Structure 1
Amino acid sequence: MENTWLAQAKRLQALASTGLHFCTDDFERERLEEIAEIAHNMLAQLGNVPLERITGLVTDFAKRYSTPMIDVRGAVIQGERILLVRELTDGCWALPGGYADIGLSAAENIVKEIREEAGLTVTARALYSVTHKAKGLYRPDVRDFYKLYFLCEPVDQSAPMAGFETTEVGFFRLDELPPLSRGRTIESDLEAAFAFHRGETTQTLFD
């Protein structure tokens, strides 16, 4: 769960972004730009990163109505093991997935991501969890995300292999997990996948 100051700074940034997109009054724009500057500075201080890093992350600032981004993740389970990929960016492990691309459904996106990151062709069988990243135990993020988790099944017996954004792939038991990329995947995401796979949970989890 992200702290209150981070949540409020992100909310101020979103309000300023949406306001500037629709604003037609010069005096109101000046006030909104000041709010945006305050929010960006707050986020930079909270994240202990340069201000340019914050503004660079929000590439659509003031260009549209501000909404959460979408992250899709896929769980492929074999026996008591689950597929994880080692991320090129931080060297840690996560469920394969990433940003949802425009023009594809959520299910089509996760099929594409697993093919690109783990070399497997799968079908998306069920949506087992929809999570607001800010409310989970993920690494704090100045951006806002909805995370969609799918239970997926391979269509053949191909062996997984790393893609251009990953360095390794493998299947792991819950009691032998490697270091997780905690901005992407946490233990409860994997536990929920097994529970759905076993039929212990039959409804999509959401917060």
Structure 2
Amino acid sequence: MEDQWLAWAKRLAALADTGLHYCRDKFDRERYEEVAEISASMMSALGDIPIGHVNLALGEGKGHVTPKIDVRAAIIDDGRILLVREKMDGRWTMPGGYAEVGLSAAENTIKEVWEEAGVKVEAKRLYAVRHKAKHAYPADVLDFYKLFFLCERLDAAPLDPGHEVHDAAYFSPTALPPLSEPRVIARDIEDAFAFHAQPQRPTIID
């Protein structure tokens, strides 16, 4: 669960940016701009990171602010789960990433698996929809919904890691490598195995 002050600062930033998108009065614009500056300063202080990095992450001109969408694929084969090793931190995660415009959530997931692991899959089941801020991921200045799909391999071709990752491999749930926790935490993998064993379980929704 993220720090309550960070949650408030992120909410203020979203309200300020949404207000700037809709407002037409110059005085209201000045007020929203000041709220945006204050919220960015709060996030900078809370995270002990340069305010320029905060502003870069938040971006500008976002219009009506909504959470970002992150999709992840759980491919379980012979009691092991497929993970890829991220170039950014050298740690491991389930294949996935930002959802792109023009593709459904399932199509985005299939695309990410192919690009990162060279594996053709079918998305069979959405097993969890998580609000990142409510779980044990590291704090983030952005707000995310994380969608987790159980996927099934369509062929037995060997793994072929793409240029976005260092490696791809299968791991048993009792011998997981160091995880890239901004992207995936142990619970995500535990739930994948639970849903693989009992597909009739209801989807986890925050």
Calculate the TM-score normalised by the size of structure 1.
0.97
Following superposition, the deviation at residue 66 of structure 1 comes to 0.6
Following superposition, the deviation at residue 144 of structure 1 comes to 0.2
Following superposition, the deviation at residue 200 of structure 1 comes to 6.4
The amino acid across from 1:101 in the alignment is E
Listed as ranges, the matches of 1:21-60 within 5 Å are 21-59=21-59
Q: Distance in 1 between matches of 2:184 and 2:200?
A: 19
Q: Distance in 2 between matches of 1:151 and 1:112?
A: 14
Q: Distance in 1 between matches of 2:97 and 2:62?
A: 22
Task: State whether residues 87 and 166 of structure 1, in contact with CA within 8 Å, keep that contact through their aligned partners in structure 2.
Answer: yes
Other-structure match for 2:143: 144
Q: Distance in 2 between matches of 1:204 and 1:10?
A: 27
Q: Give unpaired runs (5+ residues) of structure 2.
A: none
Q: Distance in 2 between matches of 1:100 and 1:63?
A: 16
What secondary structure does 2:46 align onto? helix
Q: CA RMSD in A?
A: 1.0
What secondary structure does 2:174 align onto? helix
The amino acid across from 1:10 in the alignment is K
- Paired residue total: 206
What secondary structure does 1:84 align onto? strand
Other-structure match for 1:193: 192
Cα deviation code 1:79-131 (max 9, x no counterpart): 21101100001111100000000000000000000000111010000000000
Q: Distance in 2 between matches of 1:173 and 1:186?
A: 15
Q: Distance in 2 between matches of 1:42 and 1:165?
A: 33
Other-structure match for 1:156: 155
- Taking a change above 3 Å as real, the CA distance of residues 131 and 167 of structure 1, as seen in their structure-2 partners, is same
Does the alignment pair 1:165 with 2:161? no
The amino acid across from 2:15 in the alignment is L
The amino acid across from 1:185 in the alignment is V
Q: Distance in 2 between matches of 1:62 and 1:19?
A: 11
Following superposition, the deviation at residue 48 of structure 1 comes to 1.6
Q: Distance in 2 between matches of 1:201 and 1:183?
A: 29
Give runs of ≥4 in structure 1 deviating > 4 Å.
Answer: none
Q: Distance in 2 between matches of 1:132 and 1:160?
A: 31
What secondary structure does 2:75 align onto? strand
Q: Distance in 1 between matches of 2:142 and 2:104?
A: 22
Calculate the TM-score normalised by the size of structure 2.
0.97
Following superposition, the deviation at residue 161 of structure 1 comes to 2.2
The percent identity for this pair of structures is 53
Other-structure match for 1:2: 2
The amino acid across from 1:193 in the alignment is A
The amino acid across from 2:107 in the alignment is E
- Taking a change above 3 Å as real, the CA distance of residues 188 and 201 of structure 1, as seen in their structure-2 partners, is farther
Cα deviation code 1:52-99 (max 9, x no counterpart): 11111122x343111000000000001211011000011111000000
Task: State whether residues 195 and 201 of structure 1, in contact with CA within 8 Å, keep that contact through their aligned partners in structure 2.
Answer: no
The amino acid across from 2:40 in the alignment is H
The amino acid across from 1:43 in the alignment is M
